[in-house]
Chain A
Amino acid sequence: DADVTQTPRNRITKTGKRIMLECSQTKGHDRMYWYRQDPGLGLRLIYYSFDVKDINKGEISDGYSVSRQAQAKFSLSLESAIPNQTALYFCATSVRGEGGRETDTQYFGPGTRLTVL
């Protein structure tokens, strides 16, 4: 079984709809991240969380919100989806120091392909 899972894997929705993307992990990591990937732009950080009480905005948080329901679950919501939010969304986890001193090796889920019409 995959350590980091994302649901749904694919979603097509309409402008104005509320959408939630979910991420679960069995790695026991305390840190979780949401990125989006657009063709030609690479991956960009949306939000990240160090634990259930610590949520931080990333580079492109506008139009998104998150919820850390438990250590193992981190959800990303689009309150009112718009077409330019069409992208591939990745969840990632990390734990401090696993990759060495002051290093957080990140592990990625398989991604959710979201299309907003």
Chain B
Amino acid sequence: KQEVTQIPAALSVPEGENLVLNCSFTDSAIYNLQWFRQDPGKGLTSLLLIQSSQREQTSGRLNASLDKSSGRSTLYIAASQPGDSATYLCAVPDSGGGADGLTFGKGTHLIIQP
């Protein structure tokens, strides 16, 4: 059974810092990995999806990397802003490409101090 772990569970940093969120998974036979953002009282917003054949994906100040062989992914946030404060979740498919649902980590609760 796939297990996803996210470290750290919580992080508080001053505005402007670059930071890294970590995600690890136990079964490396994945087709993709997805990073989500969750704001209080709101649903999940997909940030980045990395295919198994890719090493990284970038969107604005966000960069996600994937190392399937070691079962790890990182989300890099450059020049953090207070608006980045949220919970960040990573998720991998239960099987195949994700049709059977996703297995989520417990998330990293991020606070960016103004």
Q: A108-B44, A111-B42 are in contact. Are A96 and B97 (CB under 8 A)?
A: yes
A interface residues, how many (CB within 8 angstroms)? 32
CB-based contact B106/A103 at 8 Å: no
Interchain CB contact (< 8 A) of A43 among B49, B93, B98, B104: B104
Q: B36 contacts which chain A residues (CB < 8 A)? A: 108
Given contacts A40-B106, A42-B106, A42-B107, contact A108 B43 (CB under 8 A): yes
Number of interface residues of B (CB under 8 A): 29
Quick check: B98 and A94 within 8 Å, CB to CB?
yes
User: Is there contact, CB below 8 Å, between B44 and A90?
Assistant: yes
Task: Give B2 Cβ to nearest chain A Cβ, in Å.
Answer: 11
Query: Once the chains bind, are A45 and B32 in contact (CB under 8 Å)?
Result: no
Query: CB distance A48 to B105 under 8 Å?
Result: no
Residues of B within 8 A of A (CB): 4, 31-32, 34, 36, 41-46, 49, 51, 89, 91, 93-94, 96-107
